[in-house]
Amino acid sequence: MVSGLQDLIHATAQTGRVEWIGLRGARREPMQIVDGADITEDGLIGDHGRPGKRAITLIQHEHLAVIGAFLGRSPVDPRILRRNIAVSGINLLALKGRAVLIGTTTMEITGPCAPCSRMEEALGHGGYSAVRGHGGVTAKVLAPGHVALNSSIKPVD
């Protein structure tokens, strides 16, 4: 028997996993790759992110290969896209508006993270268009905690 639309929307096939974590110490500074980070309501400690609904940025690890394919090359290094966390195995866009547990932190996926015009600078001609629809999501921290490589990510509800 087929579930109602809400049941289908809330179903996830599996738990996701943290593949990569990066901190942006300041605007335009190189990303610092880390194995783990503490998270407060303002975002990852050591990152210059924006408190509120854009405190954390996440990207679908699977989309790194898609972006690279659109550019005619191998998968894009996540540090070029300047997102905080790359996750695999779960559809981030399907979690929009929902609370998720990632490591020991609870956050709400608030919406898509559109590419900026600097993608042309970072990726070359066509970089902006290659990232469109694959730029990841933003999140608001609901409960502080810690995230580390291989941490799981799953909906709370």
- Domain annotation covers residue 12: no
* Percentage with pLDDT > 70 across the chain: 96
Q: What was the pLDDT predicted at 3?
A: 66
pLDDT of residue 50: 81
Number of residues that this document lists for the chain: 157
* Per-residue confidence (pLDDT) for residue 2, from 0 to 100: 56
Beta bridge partners of 40: 43
Instruction: Flag whether 46 is in a domain.
Output: yes
**In terms of pLDDT, which residue wins out, 132 or 14?**
132
Is residue 99 in some structural domain? yes
Query: Would you say residue 130 has pLDDT above 80?
Result: yes
The number of domains in the chain is 1
**DSSP H or E stretch at residue 57:** strand 56-60
Query: Residue 147's domain spans which residues?
Result: 17-155
Is 6 contained in some domain? no
Kindly report the pTM of this predicted structure.
Answer: 0.91
Q: Strands, E, within the chain: which ranges?
A: 16-24, 31-33, 36-40, 43-44, 56-60, 85-88, 99-102, 105-112, 137-143, 145-148, 152-155
Q: What is the CATH number of the domain that holds 79?
A: 2.40.33.20
The answer to the question of residue 90 being in a domain is yes
pLDDT (0 to 100) of residue 73: 95
The answer to whether residue 4 sits within a structural domain is: no
The predicted structure's pLDDT at residue 52: 87
Residue 10 is assigned to a structural domain of this protein:
no
pLDDT in the model for residue 10: 75
Q: What is the pLDDT of residue 4?
A: 84
pLDDT one-digit tens code per residue, 24-44? 988 888 899 999 999 999 999
Higher pLDDT, 115 or 63: 63
Which pLDDT tens digit goes with each residue over 102-114? 999 999 999 999 8
